[in-house]
Structure 1
């Protein structure tokens, strides 16, 4: 079971089809929707305000989601938060991708189907329209997101939604082998749909 904590009596709300890794930490006023994946060492700290993770979103390993007092953090449906990213009182639109180790600050509002580049710093109050490619430190909109880019992103997010669906069964603690052995997975996963 994940590390789930109340804060002054407010408990997280987590839908049953979500997968929360046992090494994730969820604190306080956090709502997690259907088929959401929360990876190891992710921390969602809803102490001074609310964090809302809508259906089909994912928050990958080592991410931090927190809130400035009174300003919620919201991930809309199918938002995809890459490894090590920080979201702090920002609103991330539907089907967005936040790249690895990016930081999105207070009162930023990112439109639907945007892509934020890895290592970008999105400053306080930044606002973008839908389908923009946002990169840099401080971040700037550099162009539109193409149909091909959003199709690639959507396929990648679908893999995480599948991982949320099967995580309770597929991800299990175990003792490692001490020698190299040939292994066959209990389920053959076809990733070719994502790499095409």
Structure 2
């Protein structure tokens, strides 16, 4: 088992793997100046059987995922996260300590549900999204591909957020958001629009 990303997020993933009693052979990182990390060897551009991407940047995580086949990736759950039996979590995704994923949630590939985040019933989170620490998605929320929900943000029930959006820390989202927007505040307001991933 390998971890792609020899940085801070890699430390968290390493801890979750250890708690799940999964043996880690080493790290993979594109920085050729890093030879060891957390007492493990670091390789560059290696071919491995099983790995998980430990990089918080959604676009980078998506790019790295294209280097490997889907069956190379595992999904990973911190033993102190709570996941409903009828929720679906896809490959490459991870839940951190204290995360709660409630009933009938669908989570795509390579999604991060960070520490103490809450995902309520019937939510859908598309590939490469990141739900930051302490944030709350109320029931029946839809999060588009690559979207980042900032720390302690709240999305009220039934909201649809487009792809590759950024929701600022502490924002309260009370209306649907289009693709490629950045929002901040309570209530959340758009401060920037983009047009590409």
The TM tier, using the shorter chain, reads 0.5 to 0.7
SS class of match (1:133): strand
Correspondences of 1:39-188 after superposition (within 5 Å): 39-46=96-103, 50-67=104-121, 72-88=122-138, 89-123=140-174, 126-145=175-194
For 1:20, the equivalent position in structure 2 comes to 77
For 1:193, the equivalent position in structure 2 comes to none
Unaligned runs of 5+ in 1: 3-14, 151-196
Task: Supply the distance in 2 between the matched residues of 1:146 and 1:116 (Cα, whole angstroms).
Answer: 16
1:129-158 Cα shifts (integer Å, max 9, x gaps): 1100011111111211487xx6xxxxxxxx
- Deviation of 1:119 after TM superposition, in Å, equals 0.2
Decide whether the 8 Å contact of 1:115 with 1:145 is kept in 2: no
For 2:46, the equivalent position in structure 1 comes to none
Task: Supply the distance in 2 between the matched residues of 1:23 and 1:99 (Cα, whole angstroms).
Answer: 22
1:86-111 Cα shifts (integer Å, max 9, x gaps): 01121000000000000011111111
Unaligned runs of 5+ in 2: 1-18, 21-70
Task: Supply the distance in 2 between the matched residues of 1:28 and 1:86 (Cα, whole angstroms).
Answer: 20
For 1:33, the equivalent position in structure 2 comes to 90
Decide whether the 8 Å contact of 1:29 with 1:51 is kept in 2: yes
SS class of match (1:29): coil
1:69-99 Cα shifts (integer Å, max 9, x gaps): xxx2010000101011001121000000000
State the structure with bigger RCO (CA 8 A, min sep 6), 1 or 2: 1
- Structure-2-length-normalised TM-score: 0.60
Task: Supply the distance in 2 between the matched residues of 1:94 and 1:60 (Cα, whole angstroms).
Answer: 16
Superposed CA RMSD: 2.0
- Deviation of 1:28 after TM superposition, in Å, equals 3.0
Task: Supply the distance in 2 between the matched residues of 1:94 and 1:66 (Cα, whole angstroms).
Answer: 18
